[in-house]
Amino acid sequence: MKSGLSFLIEARRCEIAGLQQLALTSALVNATGRLVHALQRERGLSNLYVGSQGRRWQTERTGQITQCEQLQAEVQACFDQLDTQSLQTANGARLFSRIAYVLQGLDALPRLRGRVAAGALSAQQTTAAFVRLINGLLAVVFEAADSAPDPDISRRLVALFNFMQGKEFAGQERATGSGLFASGLADPDEQHHLLDLVESQERCLQVFTDFASETLRAEWQRSQRPEVLAGLERLRRILGTMPAGSALDVNLSQTWFDACTARIDAMKAVEDALAAELLTLCTQRLDTTRRELATLEQVAAEQRDALPDRADFFDSREDPLLALPPSVAAAGGAVQAYGPQVDRSILELVQDQSRRLQHMSDELDTVRASLNERKLIERAKGLLMAHRHLSEEDAHKTLRQMAMNQNRRLVDVADAVLAMADVLSDRPR
């Protein structure tokens, strides 16, 4: 019959297996971030190329495609390393579904690039195509954040996901503005879209600051000083204030692209630091848990030959099941060191494990509140897309407009939309 201690040992082994899987997932998140960054740059260059009607930017675009292909191979190698056999893989069904979707998009990339090169797509269509793929990659990161069993690691993943999402909105801003300047014509719809993208960036970056470490928050704030962003803000004002249909200076397309790229590259440095912090934390957690496992196995070895009679379990005197290990008893009850000083009874070990797991659960509930808000918003968007036949972008705009009109948070409006849908679906016919 297995003892309580043996189950504690198995609990630690399960934690180690989960952390090992999480370390692989974190490596995947890191590689995904590099690919997203490269695809964001390719999207911007593609819009410049399309806006110039293929007369400029071909060399830069070709070079960027080569870099994207190399990073794509790294991401696919990380996919191959994930454990797709274990039924214990956290969030496996959703994570693997996201990966399957992304692989379809990556396989379709050469055809998209061919259509861009042939001039068969507008700047808006090019942007939309890349957004779809990048959003799929970010969804992989989201599922990784939603599956992390450790609250500190989960915090880093939530911070990283929201930062990457904010950086994606910054990339969309670069691509949209590049297309506008390269075309030489102000378009009111695209100008309004730029304002939405700036607001979306701020929303995501606020969540990042809520969950990131103090060091990375400070690093981010340094990169956002007014003197650093002055050039970009000037160009934003030009794009935002030009009357519809008026001429834009096509020579500013390069200036705009460079200003946006400088900011996005600064964001990438913070993103890399986030990813490195995440990997370091995973390694530390693994090392700590392995040491705890070794301690428990040593205690088990000491107790193996000295299990008492369980008939006295309910005696008022000290529980014999929790007797000291033989080496402690031999020393007259004095505590003797076992590596990292094991001096607690099995009951204390069990109670400590219970308290630790409860604390982790409470922390995870707090961290995942941010992820649950996103899920509500995504579900409400899907409902609007299905019932009103809207695009994803238009569905999001509709929710935002409802939130502004009602002076409510976006997540509260999304919850109300879903609640109303539930009421209507239950209405007697």
Q: What stretches in the chain show pLDDT beneath 70?
A: 1-4, 84-91, 147-149, 303-371, 421-429
* Amino acid 152: pLDDT: 80
- Domain boundaries along the sequence of the chain: 4-288, 356-429
The amino acid that residue 169 corresponds to is F
Q: How many CA atoms lie within 13 A of 401 on its CB side?
A: 8
For 243, 364, 372, the CA distances from 154, given in Å and listed in that order, are 46, 7, 13
Place of tokens 């249909």: 245
The C-alpha atoms of residue 429 and residue 418 are separated, in whole angstroms, by 20
Q: Residue 183 CB: number of other CB atoms within 10 A? A: 20
SS3 call for 2: coil
* Amino acid 148: pLDDT: 67
* Amino acid 303: pLDDT: 66
* Amino acid 21: pLDDT: 77
| Sequence-separated (6 or more) residues with CB below 8 Å from residue 333 | 324
Q: What is the pLDDT of residues 98-143, one digit of tens each?
A: 899 999 999 999 999 999 999 999 888 998 899 899 989 988 888 8
* Amino acid 105: pLDDT: 93
Contact at 8 Å (CB) between 172 and 192? no
The fold of the 356-429 domain, in CATH, is Arc Repressor Mutant, subunit A (1.10.10)
Contact at 8 Å (CB) between 21 and 83? yes
Note the maximum CA span of the chain: 92
Place of tokens 């707090």: 366
Q: What is the pLDDT of residues 36-57, one digit of tens each?
A: 999 999 998 998 898 888 888 8
Place of tokens 């061919």: 114
Percentage of the chain lying above the pLDDT 90 cut? 18
What's 321's DSSP letter? G
Q: Which helix (H) or strand (E) holds 400?
A: helix 392-406
CA angle 395, 396, 402 (to 5 degrees): 90
The C-alpha atoms of residue 377 and residue 417 are separated, in whole angstroms, by 9
**Phi then psi for 141, rounded to 5 degrees?**
-65, -40
* Amino acid 173: pLDDT: 92
Q: Cα–chain-centroid distance for residue 37?
A: 14
